[in-house]
Amino acid sequence: MEFQQEYEIWKDRIENLAKENVKLPNKPIDEVTAYAEALAIEANKDKEKLLAAGLNSDFIDDLPSLSGALRYCQAIWMSDYKAIDEAQKEWKLESPDAYQLRKEMLHHLSFAYRGMDDVKQKIKRIRGGSGHADMIQDLLELSVLAEKYPEPLTKIGFDNTLTTKAREVSNRMRELLAMANGSEMQNGNKLKRDKTFTLLSLRTIEICEVARYVFWDNESRLSVYRSLRS
């Protein structure tokens, strides 16, 4: 069964797990899943004895599919994490040029429209903005003004390619900023990963606790059931 299919089996139970009951992973997910998968094999060998001591049989049966679901959730979260990290690097690289373009556009338009009071007020408002979101919006608004009132810009020898560039850069930086600040997307998938880990951890811990009780005087079997708890 593919990991996504295993996730679909658990999807509702993962989503319905209360946030206050969520545990954070205390070991790398690949170690957690590998342990759970090995534990399922060993617990099945001792299933009769473990069930006789009160273990819920579903806990053993759940391990393979729940482990697969966790692998899937981890992969999704890591994909988001890498995409956000890459967007942050690209933003850091490209944003200085975007701010410089805003500065240039303000310089040219302020001079070209110095005799147009209504446009001057719009430029004054744009100039007063600060922050990344404002820079993105400013580039768009400056390009709109340049397209709407081209004659004064033509008189000062303005490079019209800057107008197109401002609009394109605004769109590009808007997309980058949304991805770089993708905390909602990232946190949602991280929570899904943590919920899945919690469900798996509850089962592995319970199996280990019952096994320690059953095999308290059998070191060879007891060594198999080492809890993931640190």
Position 230 scores a pLDDT of: 38
More confident residue, 188 or 198: 198
| 42-59 b/e (C-beta count within 10 Å ≥ 16 → b) | ebeebeeebeeeebeeeb
Position 229 scores a pLDDT of: 45
pLDDT in tens, 25-73: 989 999 999 999 999 999 999 999 999 999 999 999 999 999 999 999 9
pLDDT surpasses 70 at 185: no
By mean pLDDT, which of 78-92, 112-126, 164-178, 197-211 is the weakest? 78-92
Average pLDDT of the chain, as a whole number: 92
Count of C-beta atoms within a 10 Å radius of residue 91: 17
3-state secondary structure the chain: CCHHHHHHHHHHHHHHCCHHHCCCCCCCHHHHHHHHHHHHHHHHHCHHHHHHCCCCHHHHHHHHHHHHHHHHHHHHHHHHHHHHHHHHHHHHHHHHHHHHHHHHHHHHHHHHCCCCHHHHHHHHHHHCCCCHHHHHHHHHHHHHHHHHCHHHHHHCCCCCHHHHHHHHHHHHHHHHHHHHCCHHHHHHHHHHHHHHHHHHHHHHHHHHHHHHHHCCCCHHHHCCCCCCCC
Amino acid present at 117: D
pLDDT surpasses 80 at 157: yes
